[in-house]
């Protein structure tokens, strides 16, 4: 567990924002990932919300130099295994189940489990997890909620995701118990559809500069 935690931390410390991507068109996966990496966002979460998601993970993992490919919206052990087989180096879930924790034990890929309450975070701590996804961040209490957890759950780190944008990202990143945030704003659908990779690289660079 310690080794997996260290590997996960090394990924999440790469940048202040982890792009959370929904890939609709497989042809966009590689150029999109290259644009994000060019802007400094190397760790990339591709969510399993579309039929091409696994193929997109595989393509990015194989073809995009410098990318650290992750898989999100992992809901069950089958998703977990398929994502790892496709090349995912880290796994992200919106919540946590006993089956997912068992799957994490069975695979080398690091696991970022989801929690949205103090009780869920405490359960994960009891399982040995010190780094968690806080989702859905804005709807579950936002930065104020995480700030309130920082003292009673000292030593626990969060990657809040959900409703975060360039405007409110620093509300989270300024907290001592936030290691990074997840966000989709760095790859807006309209820019992806237009193939505006330069525009996405610019957004990625702006995101990287948040904590510079």
Q: Which residues does the annotation mark as catalytic?
A: 45, 133
Strand partners, 132: 158
Instruction: Locate 154 and state its tokens.
Output: 């000292």
| Cα 50 from Cα 64, distance rounded (Å) | 20
In degrees, to the nearest 5, what angle opens at C-alpha 74 toward C-alphas 72 and 76?
175
Token pair 């410390």 is at which residue? 13
Which helix (H) or strand (E) element contains residue 5? helix 2-12
Instruction: Locate 191 and state its tokens.
Output: 């820019």
DSSP 8-state secondary structure symbol assigned to residue 159: E
Instruction: Please give the order of strands across the beta sheet that includes 131-134.
Output: 114-115, 131-134, 157-160
Instruction: Locate 75 and state its tokens.
Output: 């809901």
- Burial label for 18, CB within 10 Å (0-12, 13-18, 19+), is buried
């Amino acid at each position: 567990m310690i080794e997996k935690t260290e590997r996960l931390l090394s990924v999440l410390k790469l940048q202040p924002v982890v792009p959370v991507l929904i890939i609709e068109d497989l042809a966009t996966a590689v150029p999109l990932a290259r644009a994000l990496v060019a802007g400094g966002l190397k760790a990339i979460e591709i969510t399993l919300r579309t039929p091409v998601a696994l193929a997109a993970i595989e393509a990015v993992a194989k073809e995009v130099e410098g990318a650290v490919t992750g898989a999100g919206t992992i809901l069950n052990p089958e998703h977990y295994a398929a994502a790892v087989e496709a090349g995912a180096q880290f796994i992200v879930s919106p919540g946590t189940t006993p089956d997912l924790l068992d799957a994490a034990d069975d695979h080398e890929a690091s696991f970022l489990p989801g929690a949205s309450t103090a009780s869920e975070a405490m359960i994960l701590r009891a399982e040995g997890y010190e780094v968690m996804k806080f989702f859905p961040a804005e709807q579950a209490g936002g930065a104020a909620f995480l700030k309130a957890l920082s003292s009673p759950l000292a030593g626990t780190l969060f990657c809040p995701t959900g409703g975060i944008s360039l405007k409110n990202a620093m509300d989270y990143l300024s907290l001592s118990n936030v290691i990074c945030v997840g966000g989709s704003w760095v790859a807006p659908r309209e820019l992806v559809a237009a193939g505006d990779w330069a525009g996405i690289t610019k957004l990625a660079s702006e995101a990287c500069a948040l904590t510079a």
